[in-house]
């Protein structure tokens, strides 16, 4: 990773010449330069450790938009930080499923263990702790992230060990990803400067692959496309697909109708007064 200086040498304030040039490089990647704002803000964080006023002004100048426009984007998305972030951003999912599976307990344990509150950084500057919303990894609940890398099936004990390892410099790997890097290094990758570790570590876990395994066991495959050339399906093709869907629905409804109507769950209590005496009121 390129070392980024924080010396002020250009109109970008605290940004180095190198970072300022890289911001221009990002903007030049897009037909509309303004489309590069999100990765540009990630680069600002890689260089400055947060979104700074100088970074906002630099992005505005390069994109020829107002600083208010840039600030509006930077304050809308939660991945952009206005306060300095530690070497490792540790997120604990406290959304519904993770919470009931132990996410709330993990978050409380880490707050006590690290002696910080939400969105605060430890005195040694190593860990910034934040409770975060759904990470779309409910099959591995409760989940955490370190610099946006997944840590699956966590417990208060394993979470405590995780942050202790990060603080002591031990090598930590994501459950479904690469070795964990620092937050600034991760931000540089999000800005579009690869670290050549995209293929390091597994990309999927067992819970995500259950459906694929069942399909292979059963010999299920996706239907072949009717128009492999990529053309627009004809009306006849659409009609045929609709008829197949209707037939499938009818078969399903038949199966439901033919099922025993008096089937009861083994734990269900008997009806009050017996079936004979029950009448609709």
Q: Does 58 or 9 have the greater pLDDT score? A: 58
pLDDT at 256: 40
**226-266 pLDDT per residue, tens:** 765 555 544 444 444 444 444 444 444 444 444 433 444 34
Buried b (16+ CB within 10 A) or exposed e, 186-212: bbbbbbbbeeeeeeeeeeebeeeeeee
Q: Does 12 or 88 have the greater pLDDT score? A: 88
Q: Is the pTM of this model over 0.75?
A: no
Burial-class residue 78 by CB neighbours within 10 Å (0-12, 13-18, 19+): exposed
Buried b (16+ CB within 10 A) or exposed e, 93-122: bbbeebbebbbeebbebbbebbebeeeebb
Cβ atoms of 134 and 95 closer than 8 Å? yes
- Average pLDDT for residues 46-52, to the nearest whole number? 96
pLDDT at 11: 37
**197-237 pLDDT per residue, tens:** 888 888 788 888 899 999 999 999 989 887 655 555 444 44
Please say if the pLDDT value at position 144 is more than 80: yes
d(CA 61, CA 63): 6
Residue 142: asked if its preceding bond is cis (omega within 30°), the reply is yes
Please say if the pLDDT value at position 279 is more than 90: no
Q: Does 261 or 53 have the greater pLDDT score? A: 53
d(CA 244, CA 235): 14
Question: Domains of the chain (ranges plus CATH)?
Answer: 17-76 (1.10.10), 88-190 (3.40.30.10)
pLDDT at 41: 98
Please say if the pLDDT value at position 8 is more than 70: no
Cβ atoms of 23 and 48 closer than 8 Å? no
d(CA 214, CA 207): 12
Tokens of 48: 């400055």
- Helices 104-114, 156-168: crossing angle, 10 deg rounding: 40
pLDDT at 188: 97
**89-125 pLDDT per residue, tens:** 999 999 999 999 999 999 999 999 999 999 999 999 9
**152-179 pLDDT per residue, tens:** 999 999 999 999 999 999 999 999 989 9
Select from 42, 69, 45, 49 the least CA-distant residue to 57. 69
Please say if the pLDDT value at position 3 is more than 50: no
pLDDT at 259: 40
**64-81 pLDDT per residue, tens:** 999 999 999 999 999 999
pLDDT at 230: 56
């Amino acid at each position: 990773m390129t070392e980024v200086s924080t010396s002020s040498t250009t109109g970008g304030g605290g940004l180095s010449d190198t970072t300022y040039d890289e911001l221009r490089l990002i903007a030049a990647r897009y037909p509309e330069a303004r489309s590069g704002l999100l990765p540009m803000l990630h680069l600002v964080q890689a260089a400055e450790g947060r979104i700074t006023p100088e970074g906002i002004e630099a992005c505005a100048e390069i994109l020829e938009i107002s600083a208010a426009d840039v600030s509006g984007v930077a304050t809308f998305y939660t991945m952009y930080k206005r306060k300095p972030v530690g070497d490792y951003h540790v997120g604990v999912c406290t959304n519904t499923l993770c919470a009931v599976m132990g996410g709330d307990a993990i978050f409380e344990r880490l707050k006590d263990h690290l002696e910080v509150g939400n969105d605060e950084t430890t005195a040694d500057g190593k860990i910034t702790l934040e409770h975060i919303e759904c990470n779309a990894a409910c099959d591995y609940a409760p989940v955490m992230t370190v610099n946006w890398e997944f840590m699956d099936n966590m417990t208060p004990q394993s979470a405590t060990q995780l942050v202790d390892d990060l603080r002591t410099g031990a090598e930590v790997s994501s459950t479904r990803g690469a070795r964990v890097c620092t937050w600034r290094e991760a931000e540089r990758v999000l800005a579009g400067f690869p670290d050549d570790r995209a293929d390091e570590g597994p990309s999927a876990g067992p819970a995500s692959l259950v459906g694929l395994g069942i399909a292979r066991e059963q010999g299920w495959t996706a239907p072949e496309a009717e128009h492999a050339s990529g053309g627009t399906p004809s009306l006849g093709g659409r009609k045929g697909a609709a008829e197949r869907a209707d037939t499938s629905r009818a078969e399903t409804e038949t199966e439901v109708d033919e099922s025993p109507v008096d089937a009861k769950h083994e734990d269900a209590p008997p009806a009050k007064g017996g079936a004979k005496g029950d009448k609709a009121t």
